[in-house]
Amino acid sequence: MSMETERIFSEVERLKDEMTQALMELIRIPAIAPENGGEGESKKAEKLVQMLKTLGFDQILRFDAEDARVPSKKRPNILAYYYGEKRDETLWIVTHMDVVPPGEDSLWTVTKPFEPTVKDGKIYGRGSEDNMQSMIASVFAVKALKNLGIKPKRTVGLGLVADEEQGSKYGIQYLIKQGLFKPKDLVVVPDVGYADGSFMETAEKSVVWFRIRTIGKQTHASRPEMGLNAHRVGMQYALALDELLHEKYPAKDENFEPPASTFEPTEKEQNVDAVNIIPGEDVSYFDCRILPSYDPDEVLDAVSKLAADFEKKTGAKIGIELVQKTVASEPTDVNVKIVLMLKEAIRKTRGIEPKVGGIGGGTCAAYFRDINVPAVVWSTIDEMAHQPNEYAKIENIVNDAKIFAYLATA
Ligand SMILES: [Zn+2]
């Protein structure tokens, strides 16, 4: 390793406590999507802009997408630039500000979701790993360079975006529409990874979410024959659908983790308020991650066809409403510059051989691939995203920041 790299790495290590504090500050500001009853990312964005201003970035820009559903009416996106020797090539590190809701409160046994705490070298709190860990690592990679007065080889651009958890329409998709990214750019999306940092993701499955609304007829539970139990029909349909989709779409691709398509019944909306009422309406959801070899529209046709069969059989109405559909993008070529650079960085700094493959998706990387900007997804995490007691390991923040700094200067 060169002298300069060693200096950078020890500067990153010196910033460890500052990174920990900064990450904890971010956890204290929830940024939950309006779809989940939250007020969006505005407060967190204010904090981040403040933070970035003190670190000496060359340029900080905000691109706010309008969204009437949140109090500020805006979904903020921040781009922060630290200029390099080459201005025509930008290393982008894209992370997201929004977090998913904490879920069942009682399952948070280490600390409350938005009251971060440090225990055994880990920072606990909602959003700690997904995606504040990588956001802080990217910000402090630049800070380390700045502190040492090192101009990176290429411009480093940090993208801190909104709306990743709900499909990115107000986040990276909005930024891409502004024409800010070029095919020559090098994009890293640190939002998926293995515990040892050995996995680099260059492909994603199609993502399809839909709502199943079953309408029957509400009645007293002692007289079921007077109504039509929408909950029963909803469950029967969901189970039959689960089986059908797995049977109809069994293909495996060992480059993906997991290798098969996934079809999961997930969210369930509340129906009636009392045990002795037969529900007249039932709402549940499926999350499907479909291998690129299948057409997601064909899958949706199968979903609708089975719903029609169940309507005939039961007399209930079953409506299928699409919540999200992201068709798998063309995978990033495994021989492009950013993939090779990152491989080299992992090898050199960790002494391991990274594996390159696909995942269930969908990250911000998919939208870059759609406009032919190669993007690689990588980070070092314990895969605690969306779980109770989510945490980020402090050593992972430090070590990933080293890799970002390395990519900027290599
Ligand atoms: Zn994430």
- Please list the residues that pair with 94 across neighbouring strands: 159
Residue 191: the pLDDT is: 96
For 155-167, how does the pLDDT look when each residue is reduced to its tens digit (9 = 90+)? 999 999 999 999 8
Give the three-state DSSP class for 182. Answer: coil
Average pLDDT, the chain: 96
**Would you say residue 251 has pLDDT above 90?**
yes
Residue 172 Cα to ligand 1 midpoint, Å, equals 13
Residue 99 Cα to ligand 1 midpoint, Å, equals 8
Which value, to the nearest 10 degrees, does the dihedral of the CA atoms of residues 137, 138, 142, 147 take? -10
Query: Exposed, middle or buried: residue 262 (CB in 10 Å: 0-12, 13-18, 19+)?
Result: middle
Residues around ion ligand 1, judged by CB within 5 A, are: 130-131, 191
Q: How many CB atoms lie within 10 A of CB 357?
A: 18
Residues 6+ apart with CB under 8 A from 280: 215, 216, 217, 218, 219, 227, 228, 230
> Whole-prediction pTM value?
0.86
Give residue 16's pLDDT band: very low, low, confident or very high (50, 70, 90): very high
Residue 25 Cα to ligand 1 midpoint, Å, equals 18
For 215-233, how does the pLDDT look when each residue is reduced to its tens digit (9 = 90+)? 999 999 999 999 999 999 9
Residues 6+ apart with CB under 8 A from 315: 216, 228
For 165-219, how does the pLDDT look when each residue is reduced to its tens digit (9 = 90+)? 998 999 999 999 999 999 999 999 999 999 999 999 999 999 999 999 999 999 9
**Would you say residue 116 has pLDDT above 80?**
yes
For 68-88, how does the pLDDT look when each residue is reduced to its tens digit (9 = 90+)? 999 999 999 999 999 999 889
Residue 209 Cα to ligand 1 midpoint, Å, equals 17
Three-state secondary structure along 342-387? Answer: HHHHHHHHHCCCCEEEEECCCCCHHHHHHCCCCEEECCECCCCCCC
**Would you say residue 299 has pLDDT above 80?**
yes
Pairing of strands 317-326, 206-215: antiparallel
| CA–CA separation, 376 and 96 (whole Å) | 15
Instruction: Find out whether 146 and 55 touch, Cβ atoms under 8 Å.
Output: yes
Active site residues: 98, 164
Give the three-state DSSP class for 90. Answer: strand
Closest CA to 378 of 329, 409, 334: 334
Residue 181 Cα to ligand 1 midpoint, Å, equals 21
Residue 384: the pLDDT is: 94
Closest CA to 129 of 403, 404, 407, 396: 396
Name the phi and psi angles at 338, rounded to 5: -65, -35
